[in-house]
Each structure stands twice: as C-alpha cells, then as structure tokens.
Structure 1
Amino acid sequence: MTDLDLLHFEQLKKDVQTQYLKETTPSHDDISKWKGIDIIYFQEDLRKKAKGNISEKSFYTYFKTSPVTKLPRIDMLNLLSIYAGYTSWYDFKKQHLFAGELLQENEDLEEEEIQELEKTVSSAADVTKIEIPPGKIEFQPQKTADLQKSTPENQTITQITTPTSHTEIQTPSPRKNFFKKNAWAIITSILITLTGILGFKDEIFSKTYKYCFTDKDRGVSVINTLEIRVIKENESPLFFKIKPGECFYYSTKDKNIKMQITAPFYEYLEVNRNLENAPDEEMIELKPDDYKMAAYYFSIKDVKGGNSEEQVALIKQKRNQLENLISNNAVIYQVYDNNTYGIERLDKQKYITLVTTPTTSLKNLNVIEMKKDSKGKIVSIKFKIITDEENK
C-alpha cells in the first residue's frame, strides 16, 4: 500500500457517491454524512449493480472518515470500482493515474488480504437478496441522533419492509359452478347421444330410393311378380318380391346399388347405379320375352264359343301353337296350395291337354316361372291355378 493508493481510494469514494446520486436522493449528498437508512439503501444498490456487499462496519470505517489511513481489502476495492463503472480496482487506478505514477500489471496481494478474499468468496452464496422498488426515494428529516457523531455499535437501524405482492381472491363464477356440479349429467347426456347415433346410424345417414317398373313394349305396368336380388359387397344377396303394379323402395347409405331383376314373362335385367348422382325416383323398363308371352297367351286363350266345329278348330290351333313353343323335354310343374299334393310334375302333352280343355279356371292360371333355351323353346314352366277362394 502506498500513499497514492489512499489518494486513489478517496477518488473512488467520490465516484461511488456520484454513481449513487444518479438514481437516488439520500438525506445528504456527501457520502460521509449518510445515516442508517441511507446506508441500507446503498448496500442494496451495491448488491444489485455490483453483485456484492460491504458490511455496515466497513462503511463506517472507510466512508465516515476522510482521509482514511488504511486501504480496504482488494475485494472491496474491486466491488466499489465495479459499482462506479470500472472493471476492477486496477482499471480504476489506470484511468486516474497521477503524474509519474506507474502501475504493475500483477500487483501482489498481502497474505492477510488473500485470506480475507477467500472468506468473502465462500460467504457470497449466503448473501440475502432484497429487491428495492426502483425510483428515487425522498426522505423527511427525522428527529434522531446524528449517526455521524455516534459509534456504529450504538446506532439503531430501522428496517423498512415493503409488501412484495397483493393476492386477489376471486370467487368462482356461477357458470363454472354450474358446469362443475352438473359435469356427470353433461357427460352422461353426451354418451347417450353418441350411443344413439351409433345405434341408429344406418337410419340416420341412409337414403330411400324408389324404383317402379313398366313393360317396355306396351308402356303399362308389368303383369308378373318381380323377384329382385340386391347384391352387396362382401355380403349375401338380399331378396325382394314386388307384386304387379307396385314399386320397390330401398334404403341404403351405400354409394352404389346393384340389382338383378327377374320375372316369368320378361327378360333378365341387371341394374347398376351410382347413388351419388342418382335421382330419388326412377322408372325401369323391362323387355317382354315374346316366347314366354306367347306360351302364356295360348295357355289361357279361351277356346269356347261358336259351334262345335269352330271350337274343335280353335283347340287344334291352340295345341299346334303350344307344340311349337314348348320343348319336348320341357319340365313342367303345377303348384298346389293344399297339403295333399303340394306340387305335381306334368309332361308336355299333359300340360297342353290341361290348358286346351275348355274350362273357366284357365283365366286364373298364374305362371310362376318360365325358362327357355337358346333356340327360344320353353324348357321349364312352373304354374299355379288360383282358386276362387284365393281371389276373394
């Protein structure tokens, strides 16, 4: 330590005082006249800006007396230099050189100063940080003893505590209380709704289409019962029977439909529709099978009327026409509704004899099924004669 160092320290105290006065208004501008509360706020500002602290005893030792006869430890000098805006005590002296003064790059520390520095570093983690509200603080003169004239041991320091935060308690809104109390009821309602949608999704999301059928040649409704098979992917076909003059209603959520339509007197028809652009109602034309129609016509043709010679001629004509239309190997079945017979097989001649015998029951002949071969010959007939009781 040299006398120049003591002079540098006096300069440093002035810089520290100037730095503190930039943002705070103590009770006196002169640092040597600061009182207890001024010292407390200075310590806080020092911790905030230089990340270090000096004790109140050190403040009284080095700031209340001017000039000092003993230089503070190097750690305190560095701390005050940083607070004043310099990087270190060496940097401060370098920028405040006296005439003829030379500085050493590495000044040796005394053993006592090194020990004090180690103690300061080890205790730095225990320093309590206290936040001081920013802004300048003005003080009213207090009627207390002059701290400058008293010893540090006899001073009474009043600590000021400031509230850190205000907790505002808000009562829960009625809306939140409602949802909290009725949470289970709301969840149950949602689950029931979802279950209903899943259970009736086919009915909810399906659409109904209407298909009617007409005779393509005659422009009238078909005269036979239609059999419709709806082909579904990866499922067995669905079978429907539609009576003459009725329409077919089909509900589905599929995008396509494939129908196979058969009737005794009409040609087989397969219908494919893209339902995304299809109309809700459609009229489908069925082409009559001329051979089947002729066989049916001659089967039910009335041969009664006129004299006996004319009647014999009509019967002969009808037999010849049926002989030409029906194959010699045709399989013919007559279906009964009673429990005794059920079904009976007829050959070609027996069938022709049956339908050429003058009787009123021929008007009730109902052809259930009729098939032909590639040459147009009828190879299969399934028919039924409806009794008067069934017509009632």
Structure 2
Amino acid sequence: MFQEDLKKQVNSSISEKSFYSYFKNSSEKLPRVDILNLLSQYCGHTNWNDFMKSTAQITPSTKKKSYNLWLWVACITLGLFATIFFLPPTNNTFRFCFIDQDRNQVITKVPIDIIILNDKESPFYSKSDSTGCFAWKTKDDYIHFVIRSPYHKTDTIYRLASSDFNEDLQVRTDDYALILHYYANGKVEDWKNRRKELSQMIANDAHIFQVLPQRLGIEMYTKKDFINKLTTPTQSLKNVEIIESKRLNGQIVKLKFKIKS
C-alpha cells in the first residue's frame, strides 16, 4: 500500500530493504539522502533540507492528505529522523583492566599511570583504580593513551569504540626496574620470590632463544640461565625485548627474545 501510494504521489519508490529497515524496524541511523528527499516530497516538502527548515511541522498541503495513514507514518518517521539528526552525539565509554602479563593477574598493588592523548586538547592524566581498571567517557569514537608504571613497560594504546567496550590489557613486566628495586632496597625475600615465580612460569624443558644482532644467529638458554639473566640488574636486562612466547598448560614452553642496542 505504501509503495503504491508513494509511486502515485511522487512517481518514485524505495527498495523493500529500506522500507523494512526504516518503517518496520527501529533504526538509529539516518537513511541515504535520496530516501530522505523522497519521503520529504511525499510529506509535501521540496526535499529533506526544506523539511528540516520547517522544523518538522506539517504543512497545509500535508493536512489535505491527512486521511492517508501511510502519509502520517512517513511524516512521523521523518520527524524521528530529524530528532536523531539534531541530537548531540552520545558518549562512548571505554573500560580497561590491566593484567600483569607474567602473573596473569590484575595489577592492583601499584596504580597504572594513564595519559589520554587528545588531538585538540592537552593530555589528560589519570590512574587505574583499586580494582586495577580504568574507565573513560568521550564523544570521540576512539581512545588513544599511554600507560606507565614503575615496574611495567611503557606502552601506547589505540582503540576504536564498539557497542560494549570492555578489554583486559596485557602489560609487560619491566624486570630491570623490578629487580633493581629489590636490590636497592635490600628486599632479598622479594628477589627470591621473583625467582620462584619465574621458575613456575617457565617449563623445565622450555626452548629459550636469544636473537643476536646483525643476523649473527641465535643463542640458546637453559631455564636456569635465563632466570639468572632476569634476576640480575645489568644494563643489558634493561633492554630485553620479548619477541615471541608460547604457553602450554599455563607455562611458557617457547620464548624468543633480543637485547635492544
């Protein structure tokens, strides 16, 4: 019925897909401008811009056709589209929880420093809360921020908005800073606990490789040698970068790393 009346009044029609999308179902998105122009003409206006200028008020020419049910439906639908058009953009909510990559636990003992980077504004500084998480509301459809921690490596995160954005972010441990802290403060027990943690994390038969610079090949490590390397605060430890790791049954069975120059 509607398609027939539309064809009769404005000598045109819309696709069945568009009809069911915008008349039979609710939609938060505006149709294409050609569909809006067509519906505006059906309601007695020149085009969509003319309809918008009239602030969605029904014109006298429309009143003459008010006995047509489909006409009222089309005009009410256009009014809803106009409302959507003028509504302010909704806020996107991003929520992240920060997970220690080694321990696979939420980081709660030390807050994560967060620097929100905005294109048109100065950076905004925040911290993770007592649950190890962070939430941010913005009109932008993305978030761009830097995370910093005394005992974790700095990282830059960029994410686009989604309908339900909630993500666990893996944060890499800065072993150099951690072990140096233990040594400097005489925390022998903490240092021993760190060795135990690493021993539990790494399988006894794990394949551990160091990629040497300038394509000189690789060097293999035993589990014990690698743990010794990660628990001695040398300058080279500060530049350790994990290239690849593979876990099986909760333990690292393969690990490839390099020393950045």
Question: RCO (CA 8 Å, sep 6+): is it higher in 1 or 2?
Answer: 2
Higher strand share: 2
TM-score of the two chains, using structure 2 as the length reference: 0.37
More helix per residue: 1
- Normalising by structure 1, we get a TM-score of 0.26
